[in-house]
Amino acid sequence: MAAREGEPIRQAVEELTCFLGMRLEDPAFLADPYQCLTPAVRERPVHVLPSGAVAVLGHHACSHVLRDGAFGQGAGELYEMTLLGLRARSLLQLDPPGHTRLRSRIARHFSTRRVHGLAESVSAHSNALLRQCPQGPGDFVPDFAEPLAMSVISDVLGVAHEHRTAFHRDARLVVQGLDQPARSTDDRAIAQARFRFMHYFHQRIKAWDGTARDSSLNALLEGPEDGTRDIREVITTFSLLLSAGYDTTVSLLSHTLAEVSGAPCGRGWALARDPGRIDAVVEEVLRLHSPAQVAPRAAVRDTVVEGVKVARGTIVLPLLAAANRDPAVYDEPDAFRPERHLASGPAAARHLAFGAGAHFCLGAALARLTAQHALTVLADRPPQLTRQPRLYQNNVVVRGLRSLPVTWPPHHESAPATSSAGAPLLAAPACPAPAE
């Protein structure tokens, strides 16, 4: 049987989990991979696995690997084989020159100015979803996080409103087929959805009349200056935007809600209502619950990382999740402490949730804006966490919640008003005295 796409990465991650004494698909590991990642990063920053693959856990070492041209994919153009044994299907799997060329074509569509232009729409989607959530028991992931992430991606891809219901259905299946063994639906349904997804963009490309210029899709369709346009490249890029942006944003939104609602004495919501601190809240969630746990690379030449020799072709796993809780960089790395991002100096060390170097996440500004605006809207009708268990996705690369049970409050309840300086006018509920 032919090897499945993504298999070498999955095997290496599986080996790492085993090496750390757990099983990849164990619900206990999915719920809390840090129980083995944190002791491993404390032990040493770089671990050589029995197969020869190298797991990089320390913050400094991860940052080095992500920024150093000695680590990459080994493919310079689309559809070449990478050193990880995969066919390069997007810019994420390319090294220069292909990466530089493709990235420069789409980067300007993710500039801060462009992204800020989406703010109103993110708030409108969030408000509409919140209005739809009936009072009582609910699940934050399907009720709010998933539909919001999908609407935002649809805005970015320029999907027309009349096509969104069908598009969302197919796009969800396409995403399910990406990260093995996440497949809960049969392969055939996924293959059909993938076909319709590509067909949709083919049709859009064929029908494009060169006038509308307001979305990424249209901008990409304009093609390079010389008028040439590679349809495969365009479709590949749209697939990447969906795959890179959907699960990760759902994960960020759900973990943000979990941390903010779970903080004692209403402290989380008080911070979320403070315009001067809301960005620190989101940064801390990104650090503490890195949606992308690993950013796989191969050594493209013989090299060394933290004194460990790495031969060309070696699979290298920079574990962003471990690096973001490296005790050598963060005090109390497992604690939710947004204020650490307000400090300057080493205490504010940059987390690696969006990667670093040439492949730094193109959607970082959009993801931050989405989480901040969603949180602002949710603060008007904050759902409460329940005691029911939360469930995690069975994914290799992206760690995200599949279910986060909540209770939605009545619609008429509104949040305490905030002063113009952002401080809550009504005090958060008093914390009960700690038990003796």
Footprint of ligand HEM (CB under 6 A): 66, 91-92, 103, 153, 156, 240-241, 244-245, 248-249, 252, 291-292, 295, 320, 353-355, 359, 361-363, 366-367
Residue 109 CB, nearest distance to ligand HEM (Å)?
Answer: 10
CB of 243 to ligand HEM, least distance (A): 9
User: Exposed, middle or buried: residue 108 (CB in 10 Å: 0-12, 13-18, 19+)?
Assistant: exposed
For residues 370 and 122, the answer to whether their CB atoms sit within 8 Å is yes
If the CB atoms of residues 289 and 340 are measured against ligand HEM, the closer one turns out to be 289
Which lies closer to ligand HEM via its Cβ, residue 156 or residue 404?
A: 156
What is the nearest approach in angstroms of ligand HEM to the Cβ of residue 375?
13
Q: Which is nearer to ligand HEM, 263 or 292 (CB)?
A: 292
Structure tokens at 301: 């030449």
Shorter beta-carbon distance to ligand HEM: residue 249 or 314:
249
Q: How many CB atoms lie within 10 A of CB 345?
A: 6
Nearer to ligand HEM, 200 or 408 (CB): 200
Q: How far is the CB of 76 from ligand HEM (least distance, A)?
A: 13
Quote the tokens at residue 3: 């090897």
Judged by CB, which is closer to ligand HEM: 270, or 278? 278
Shortest distance, CB of residue 346 to ligand HEM, whole angstroms?
22
Minimal distance, residue 292 CB to ligand HEM, in Å: 4
Q: Which residue is at the shortest CB distance from ligand HEM?
A: 363
CB closer to ligand HEM out of 336 and 354: 354
Nearer Cβ to ligand HEM (103/402): 103
The whole-angstrom separation of Cα 241 and Cα 215 is 13
- Please state the closest distance from residue 211 (CB atom) to ligand HEM, in A: 24
C-alpha 145: how far from chain center: 12
Cβ atoms within 10 Å of 419's Cβ, excluding its own:
9
3-state secondary structure of 280: helix
Taking the complex as a whole, how short is the minimal distance between the CB of residue 343 and ligand HEM, in angstroms? 22
C-beta closer to ligand HEM: residue 85 or 422:
85
CA distances from 383 to 247, 343, 413 (A): 21, 30, 11
Instruction: State the nearest-atom distance from the C-beta of 107 to ligand HEM, in Å.
Output: 8
Q: Which is nearer to ligand HEM, 150 or 292 (CB)?
A: 292
Q: In 263-300, which residue ranges form alpha helices assigned H by DSSP?
A: 267-272, 278-288
Minimum CB separation of residue 106 from ligand HEM in Å reads: 7
